[in-house]
Structure 1
């Protein structure tokens, strides 16, 4: 990895000589690395291999010689069958057919090849529905960015300025992160980049749709860099096929070499069993034939079937294998029936255990699961409790495994089976979420009563987990009588929980005076809105203000204002039904809602349109909305156009929009061009737009040429913003209006903007005078970047 040293008194970041991970000293406000590294894809790959086993010796090797992989690795973006661009490749297959093992093989082989030949850079991400850090679109991109930066420190140049401009907010925006990702991937100085995204179908549905839409939009463009290559594996769900069929794609089962891999895998399993159970050659041959007949190319079925044979004597093994049904669903049914039969209890504890494993937002440890399911809690000795729980988990008959003391489903298809129709809904998912929420609240109540009680691992999970499970339970969650004290209007127990929440990462700024309505709004728990409203109806007039749906927290926000800017549109509707008042601040929050701005704004207009006034602040919030700006603005113009005036401040907000500035500005010019004046402030906002500044400036120059004056102040702003591309654009298109003043040169020197300084010296050197002020500005720059040998860049 390249090294960068900072000389002088730089208080933001120091990157020294790195061998492996980046070691940085960053002030708390600029700790960008912690936002990228919630999960480490390299460690995730190792854990996946331990869980599923790596490729059997002699398998998967053929994939590197296939036409599809050869074209994907090719030196130039070619056109495949039916004019499909080969920069994206989709490999798909049914559950258990070895997609992830193939992805592991490719990741390891390509990483080794690129390391030895310097032929490219590889990044990968293994999605997993069981981890909340590995099943979202933002997590995928952050994991890929983390690996790219680890391998090429120079790529930080695309990240750090944007992070310094926007802080932690940057890492909540998929569009902003995707823009950085594609720019890093396209960087010519660091060569070709290859990314593998495994098990896309394990992302939540919203993230899945986001990634698919972005892949389509990005790679349909003829301008995408040939340096960018992405391979996706997933199940062939219709919604995934609809998006990815425009790219080269292949069913893994259709490769003729795949059957050879299946036979090798069977041989490995049979030899292992034969050595353990001392099979004769005849028995070995019979087992081999039955496995080949029933496996149907499914590695997972082979592994599970052989797992069922490990304790069967050789005299019975053939009969046992013959009784194991074909197909994963039939096999899971048999395993489930056997586990229920072997269970010492009525089966409710077994169902509860599986339910917790299925719906938990991250894998629980063995002890956490014991506490969640209240297994062996009467056993005070932790070692004994742990042993008993291990034994109970083993009764799940291969559906659940223990890895690194965490309890995991063996495969996602098991979750699909347990919550789907194949098992007659053995687990009701909404009820499972509700039950886990109740258990979490019970634990929090007990701990709030006893300050000396130790804080167990599951209590940490309960702190943030109960509210999320309550939301996901939907109508299955109701306030239990036994938990009334937690949900009272004035609840010391809930206030104790809120203090604990504020100590957790990401909730430090949660306001005080946070009512039960605010809790409902923050976490999207509709059932709490109805509960709180009913509590209010029971209070006297004197007490009623304490449970008013329009009460404000310490920051002055009502629950509805809080909800209007949240990820949970349903909670907005619930609060409106209970009398939530639609103020200007509520409408403004909806207009600026990154996640569901259009949906929430449409809901407010449908329900309360005659009460709503679209102020300049509301329109500004829509114009600056970095995720939904265009759609929210279009909705406002369609539904409330007669109330809207496009002021300079609105245009400025659109020009500086770092998520979709070009689209919002284009919309305003198309729909309201006669109202728009392009002031210096608008041009400066475009110049300072790190993500879309170049595109916005080009749009303004094309559409508003006669309205734009490039003042000295604008040029100084561009010089100080490190945006050499915009400077090039202006010099090329409006060079006759640009004067390089002493102030501009001083600004460049003070910012140590070597690219712009070099550009101006090359193109306008005769206009530049190095005055004392310029020298002082350069001398005062203590954040000078130098290369690893100490020389200036």
Structure 2
């Protein structure tokens, strides 16, 4: 480039740095003023600062001062100025009236789509700019990689490697798999074997790479099929006669668990498994980690860690890599789309990777992105095989209960027949009914089976309609928290949130356990953590009620209203605790505080997430807690201790 052109790049860099830092500061100010600003906007503030850092680096690095880079910088500045304009609509002055502040809060909700579109564009521009820089600093990177490779081939991993692995960890998919087996039971022999004989599967497994999509409705046994496939692929590929090694990776998504419902979480889980099997691959992660530290694993770093995952996958030599992704439909929508955009090109970008995705057919983006690949529909493509597997499952489960309860042969056969006829082909329905039969007297089994509805949703409805009028209020409160909690609550947290009263002989956690029984099969309790038993339970509770239809007492279909109720409950809780102890925020992260006020930690950290999902119902919260939102000491301490952190 000529001297004038170089000066143009430098000028564009300087201008972007100035605009970016002003915008980042303004974003934080807006978030500090009104907590109904979408939480993703708070997260994207870091991206703006990262862009400013790249621009500053370009200004001082001659090799980066190209025409392409200059054009990217100019575009980014334009997008940032648009963002500034939109964000000014939701900013207010402290002396504004409550009505004006509330109106600006609602404007923020209405402008969210345009704001997030601009953030998405900036996100893409950042990735493009980062790629340019990486390409032009390739020689330096290669030198670093060589040094790190030598470092990590020693017997003991380096200190930096250990810190990197600790920061990378979010969940261990192997432990998640073990928990699923514990809660669902061992795979019944013969129920899943059919998959290996399907034409699509055979074609997939006999080629070098590629993606296979297995889709089906709720309760058809997709997760157990995923568990079977992880075990089958390991035995199929290992040991290999030619000495090639097999690297097995898998991930079980869960909409109710923030560590398992996003694209970044999935990639982190896969990276963790690869590094467990091939420690030398950490050479692809360490250069970026040494610069960005823990920031590399944040929600806005998907592009970065995805590129690292690809580099690892493509550096396995002759090894075969398999990946099973279960429940992809349970990912947060924006995050799911982000991952699907990458999976569309997975066969060309990672030829050594063999990947299986198991999910429902919806949302629609799954069909759009994965429809081009090999596919097995559990219904209708494998309806006969699924039915045969279901028969084996029924026979095995009924044989267990028949033996323990000493059923006569005729009754055993009758139970099998009823389960086949009424289950509508869903494993989940059968598992619920079998659990209940363990508590039914042998003489009452026939009558109990006659009363069973056909299919999963009617069974859910029957369970809740059996709850007595006196217990429905508390039962609905429990279901509301378990359905919409940002993260699963513990027994002590939920007991505190519901203000459960202990008795003379029982603590409130024990009292709550008794109350949870009214929810029947809707809830699962593991290690004192409560969650919905299955995604279908969430879908049932939140399903839309037809116009003019009778709204059942357990309906949570008005999601925004329900979220506003939880936001109010959180604010009321930690505001009341503050009145008891004004230094509570300074002790937020102490174990003693969590024991004394179990729900405080959740309420202080997550109230604004519920508020952000309240839409126009947030106006009621602004008015109800006006003393909290505006010129309040508890607000200031919350912002200082929690929001800033």
Bigger Rg, structure 1 or 2: 1
**Whole-Å Cα distance in 2 between the matches of residues 412 and 497 of structure 1?**
33
| Cα-to-partner distance string for 1:138-175 (whole Å, 9 max, x where unaligned) | 11111111111221112112111122244444333212
Q: Secondary structure at the match of 1:421?
A: coil
Q: Secondary structure at the match of 1:26?
A: helix
Match of 2:194 in 1: 62
Which stretches in structure 2 are left out of the alignment for 5+ residues?
Answer: 1-143, 546-550, 585-591
Question: 1:42/1:391 Cα in 2 relative to 1: closer, same or farther (>3 Å)?
Answer: same
**Whole-Å Cα distance in 1 between the matches of residues 333 and 231 of structure 2?**
29
Match of 1:789 in 2: none
Match of 1:458 in 2: 599
| Cα-to-partner distance string for 1:591-633 (whole Å, 9 max, x where unaligned) | xxxxxxxxxxxxxxxxxxxxxxxxxxxxxxxxxxxxxxxxxxx
Show the 5 A alignment for 1:54-93.
54-77=186-209, 87-93=210-216
| Cα-to-partner distance string for 1:335-360 (whole Å, 9 max, x where unaligned) | 1111x22x643x11111110000001
**Whole-Å Cα distance in 1 between the matches of residues 219 and 321 of structure 2?**
29
The one of 347, 356, 373 equivalent to 1:231 is: 356
Q: Does 1:134 align with 2:266?
A: no
Question: 1:227/1:358 Cα in 2 relative to 1: closer, same or farther (>3 Å)?
Answer: same
Q: Secondary structure at the match of 1:386?
A: helix
**Whole-Å Cα distance in 1 between the matches of residues 318 and 225 of structure 2?**
27
**Whole-Å Cα distance in 2 between the matches of residues 129 and 190 of structure 1?**
35
**Whole-Å Cα distance in 1 between the matches of residues 239 and 280 of structure 2?**
21
Show the 5 A alignment for 1:643-662.
none
The one of 244, 265, 269 equivalent to 2:370 is: 244
**Whole-Å Cα distance in 2 between the matches of residues 180 and 199 of structure 1?**
23
**Whole-Å Cα distance in 2 between the matches of residues 380 and 137 of structure 1?**
48
Match of 2:633 in 1: 492
The one of 216, 233, 258 equivalent to 1:110 is: 233
**Whole-Å Cα distance in 2 between the matches of residues 14 and 166 of structure 1?**
20
**Whole-Å Cα distance in 2 between the matches of residues 359 and 235 of structure 1?**
21
Deviation of 1:242 (Å):
2.3
Q: Secondary structure at the match of 1:325?
A: coil
**Whole-Å Cα distance in 1 between the matches of residues 309 and 323 of structure 2?**
11
Contact kept in structure 2, 1:15 and 1:25, CA below 8 Å: no
TM-score, scaled to structure 2: 0.68
**Whole-Å Cα distance in 1 between the matches of residues 198 and 626 of structure 2?**
63
Match of 1:199 in 2: 327
Deviation of 1:15 (Å):
8.0
Deviation of 1:413 (Å):
0.3
The one of 411, 421, 426 equivalent to 2:555 is: 426
**Whole-Å Cα distance in 2 between the matches of residues 429 and 437 of structure 1?**
12
Question: 1:165/1:500 Cα in 2 relative to 1: closer, same or farther (>3 Å)?
Answer: closer
Deviation of 1:43 (Å):
1.4
Q: Does 1:334 align with 2:462?
A: yes
Deviation of 1:380 (Å):
8.0
User: Greater helix percent: which structure?
Assistant: 2
Match of 2:172 in 1: 40
The structure 1 segments of at least 4 consecutive aligned residues displaced by more than 6 Å after TM superposition are 12-16
Match of 2:274 in 1: 148
Which stretches in structure 1 are left out of the alignment for 5+ residues?
Answer: 1-5, 78-86, 509-793
Show the 5 A alignment for 1:299-310.
299-310=427-438
Question: 1:301/1:496 Cα in 2 relative to 1: closer, same or farther (>3 Å)?
Answer: same
**Whole-Å Cα distance in 2 between the matches of residues 353 and 480 of structure 1?**
25
The one of 463, 469, 494 equivalent to 1:369 is: 494
The one of 159, 183, 200 equivalent to 2:285 is: 159
**Whole-Å Cα distance in 2 between the matches of residues 250 and 75 of structure 1?**
17
Q: Secondary structure at the match of 1:348?
A: helix
Show the 5 A alignment for 1:2-13.
none
The one of 332, 338, 348 equivalent to 2:473 is: 348
| Cα-to-partner distance string for 1:654-678 (whole Å, 9 max, x where unaligned) | xxxxxxxxxxxxxxxxxxxxxxxxx
**Whole-Å Cα distance in 2 between the matches of residues 332 and 170 of structure 1?**
42
Q: Does 1:320 align with 2:452?
A: no
Q: Secondary structure at the match of 1:398?
A: helix
| Cα-to-partner distance string for 1:391-445 (whole Å, 9 max, x where unaligned) | 1111211111211111121110010000113675711322222222222212222
Contact kept in structure 1, 2:275 and 2:282, CA below 8 Å: yes
Q: Which has the higher contact order (CA 8 A, sep 6+)?
A: 2
Match of 1:597 in 2: none
Deviation of 1:68 (Å):
2.8
Contact kept in structure 1, 2:153 and 2:280, CA below 8 Å: no
Contact kept in structure 1, 2:214 and 2:377, CA below 8 Å: yes
Contact kept in structure 2, 1:200 and 1:233, CA below 8 Å: yes
Q: CA RMSD in A?
A: 2.8
Contact kept in structure 2, 1:54 and 1:104, CA below 8 Å: no
Deviation of 1:250 (Å):
0.3
Q: Does 1:475 align with 2:616?
A: yes
Q: Does 1:360 align with 2:501?
A: no
User: How many positions carry a matched residue from both structures?
Assistant: 472
The one of 194, 212, 222 equivalent to 1:99 is: 222
Q: Secondary structure at the match of 1:479?
A: helix
Contact kept in structure 2, 1:13 and 1:26, CA below 8 Å: no
| Cα-to-partner distance string for 1:352-397 (whole Å, 9 max, x where unaligned) | 1100000011111111111122222x5587x521211111111211
- Stretch of structure 1 that moved more, 127-136 or 458-467: 458-467
Deviation of 1:315 (Å):
2.4
Q: Secondary structure at the match of 1:326?
A: coil
**Whole-Å Cα distance in 1 between the matches of residues 420 and 540 of structure 2?**
24
**Whole-Å Cα distance in 1 between the matches of residues 270 and 449 of structure 2?**
43
Match of 2:113 in 1: none
Match of 1:780 in 2: none
Question: 1:185/1:14 Cα in 2 relative to 1: closer, same or farther (>3 Å)?
Answer: closer
